[in-house]
Amino acid sequence: MVRAIVGANWGDEGKGKLTDVLAEQSDIVIRFQGGANAGHTIINEHGKFALHLLPSGIFHPGVVNVIGPGVALDIEELFTELDGIAARNVPMPKLLVSDRAQVLMDFHVLLDTYEEERLADRKFGSTKSGIAPFYSDKAAKVGIQVCQLMDIDLLRDRLKNSLVKKNVLMEHLYHKPLLDLDALTDKYYALGQRLKPLVCDTTQYLHQALQEGKRMLLEGQLGALRDLEHGIYPYTTSSSPLAGYGAVGAGLPPRVITEVIAVTKAYSSSVGTGFFVSKLEGQEAEELRRRGGDAGEYGAKTGRPRDVGWFDAVATRYGCRVQGATACAMTNIDVLGYLDEIKVCVAYEVDGQRITDFPATPQLARATPIYVTLPGWQQDVRGITRYEDLPQKCRDYIAFIEKEIETPITIVSNGPRREEIIFRG
């Protein structure tokens, strides 16, 4: 049985917490795309952690964690995270890295940073983790797979080829120091040697595990609206955070993914550049941002304040649709307890027309929200463990959204901690 936990929105929906909770019922947790460019916040008996690259199953000693071929692997970041959790007495997790995963290199970070500088006010809101240059190299077939790190001559050859164009950019476009082939070869060969004990053919491993009936969890990063094909292009990421891509990025047959849990917050939040129709401004935004998440709505990777707004049912219905969600998990329901009225964006107005299907970017840029106002429950719901015990108005809010997004909400999270979770039915 393979279950995917993915984002229905812009990311930061609380997937890390959900994965940490549901890892208990799993044997294997797999990251299938993205890199260290986002953060999953997890709060459990070991403390509070912001994971960027490590799968969120690492806190369960019985779980095997896999970094699949679709991931942008920043090896130094991986070791920094591993050292970080070891320093806080988390037992060394079981971790496997695909020999076909590609390596995110220092120059990807440099190119990302220089390009954002060059674009100035036209920038895309990159986290400057090197993701766009990494996936560009992968598509241009000049990327370097983990297995290619193990042979120093092959590595040097691949790097040499890749640096030709990059050094033209460094010199003539960005006016920065040239990249040094020898230094890069030595550095990444050494990192490859350090990584070697974790490296294997994870696709073969996962197929074997499937035959043995192992339960697997695919952990998505970011959310549907950041998908390169289906998201708010060009304000997307450079990979696919969709459950459908989970099969490709992990190395599993698509038919085995039988459960897709799309995670959404009880309100909306987004970090980085892009369009966000139900965004709040001023005092109202400030208050929600301060109360949201476990310590306010600030990016786990960058610390940037997140934009916050009312629940956007148009965007989330679309997000659930492109994810192929079989169920939805709603997090942060506790955050809304202070409001006497809560708005939900049920449609957009674009050029005088009411639309309920999420539009492509140029139309989205002109969209204004159409709201329905629901009564708030004005009660602290943390500590509640049964769905029936949630206030009636809170359940009505959930039921209203469930209908709007055309997906059953089967899990409700009412606090950032592992145990603050309600399974419905």
Question: Is residue 306 near ligand GDP by the rule CB under 6 A?
Answer: no
* Tokens at 18, concatenated: 């959900």
Whole-number Cα distances in Å, 216 to 62, 326, 390, 402 = 12, 16, 31, 26
* Tokens at 119, concatenated: 């674009």
* Tokens at 100, concatenated: 């076909």
Q: Which of 2, 9, 23, 39 binds ligand GDP (CB under 6 A)?
A: 39
Residue 12 bears catalytic tag: yes
Min CB(301)–ligand GDP separation in Å:
8
Torsion sign over Cα 333, 336, 341, 346? negative
Min CB(133)–ligand GDP separation in Å:
22
Residue 106 bears catalytic tag: no
For ligand GDP, give the closer residue by CB, 10 or 107.
10
Min CB(29)–ligand GDP separation in Å:
13
Q: Tell me, what amino acid is at 124?
A: F
Query: Residue 413: which of 26, 8, 16 has the closest Cα?
Result: 16
Q: Which of 332, 339, 345, 405 binds ligand GDP (CB under 6 A)?
A: 332
CA distance 85 to 43: 13
Distance of CA 312 to the CA centre of its chain: 19
Question: Is residue 16 near ligand GDP by the rule CB under 6 A?
Answer: yes
- Peptide bond connecting 197 to the previous residue in cis, omega within 30 degrees of 0: no
Q: Which of 81, 112, 334, 404 binds ligand GDP (CB under 6 A)?
A: 334
For ligand GDP, give the closer residue by CB, 69 or 415.
415
Size of the site for ligand GDP (CB under 6 A): 24
For ligand GDP, give the closer residue by CB, 170 or 262.
262
Residue at token pair 């952690």? 49
Question: Is residue 34 near ligand GDP by the rule CB under 6 A?
Answer: no
Return the SS3 of 306: coil
- Candidate list 40, 52, 60, 230, residue with the active-site label: 40
- Cβ atoms 96, 198 nearer than 8 A: yes
CB burial of residue 212 (10 Å; 0-12, 13-18, 19+): exposed
- Cβ atoms 188, 160 nearer than 8 A: no
Return the SS3 of 17: helix
For ligand GDP, give the closer residue by CB, 5 or 206.
5
Q: Which of 4, 8, 13, 262 binds ligand GDP (CB under 6 A)?
A: 13
Piece of the chain touching ligand GDP by CB under 6 A; list 69-77, 91-99, 150-158, 330-338: 330-338
For ligand GDP, give the closer residue by CB, 15 or 158.
15
Question: Is residue 14 near ligand GDP by the rule CB under 6 A?
Answer: yes
For ligand GDP, give the closer residue by CB, 369 or 415.
415
Question: Is residue 237 near ligand GDP by the rule CB under 6 A?
Answer: no
Piece of the chain touching ligand GDP by CB under 6 A; list 74-82, 166-174, 293-301, 384-392: 293-301
* Phi, psi at 72, each rounded to 5°: -90, 105
Question: Is residue 414 near ligand GDP by the rule CB under 6 A?
Answer: yes
* Phi, psi at 273, each rounded to 5°: -80, 155
Q: Which of 9, 10, 17, 68 binds ligand GDP (CB under 6 A)?
A: 17
Torsion sign over Cα 423, 257, 346, 402? negative
CA distance 179 to 166: 8
Question: Is residue 52 near ligand GDP by the rule CB under 6 A?
Answer: no
Site of interaction with ligand GDP (CB under 6 A): 7, 11-17, 38-41, 43, 293-294, 300, 331-332, 334-335, 413-416
Residues classed as catalytic? 12, 40
